[in-house]
Amino acid sequence: MLHTRWQSMELVVTRDGHEIDRVAAAEIERAILVYRDRGDTPGDLAFAVLQTREHHLLFPPESGIAGRVHFERQAFWRERRCVYWAPLAKARLPRKLCAGVWILRSNKPAFVRLQRDELAQVIATWPLEGPQSWDERKVARIARARPFGALRAVPSPSSTL
């Protein structure tokens, strides 16, 4: 079973209790949370991508990246302003990264570390939202749900002058 956890200022990835990878927090440049449905809860996470200067690390949702890793260090993510969001319908991965046979192929990758240039062009096509923490996302969702909330989210023409 794949798990992630913070150990000091490093993100540690383990499989069946054995360490398989480690990333220094200072190396993380961007976290992209790819979501299904509305992306309002950790249960909506389809997969996550952490970007460092040299690599992209793909995490399936069961790794704990949305729960333990994100929520244990909310101040870290809020300060870094590096969490972005992408809807699964528009954030597809190359087929070789998704398990399964043709029509049964999953959109969920296994954990993998790739050279940054292997995935950079794919990620460049994703419509990213953010930077935005879970809390900021929740506040925005609540504001949109209020009567005329969608209208309030659009700046008035006089505010752009």
Secondary structure (DSSP) of the chain:
-EEEEEETTEEEEEETTEEEEEEEGGG--EEEEEESTT--SGGGEEEEEEE-SSEEEEE-GGGSIIIIIHHHTHHHHHHHT-EEEEEGGG-PPPGGGB-S-GGG--SPBPPEEEEHHHHHHHHHTS--B-S--HHHHHHHHHHHHSTTHHHHHSPPGGGG-
Q: pLDDT tens digit string along 29-49? A: 999 999 988 777 778 889 999
Q: Which pLDDT tens digit goes with each residue over 47-99?
A: 999 999 999 999 998 898 877 666 778 888 888 999 999 999 999 888 788 76
Provide the residue ranges of all domains of the chain, joining segments of one domain with +. Answer: 2-149
Higher-scoring residue by pLDDT: 72, 120: 120
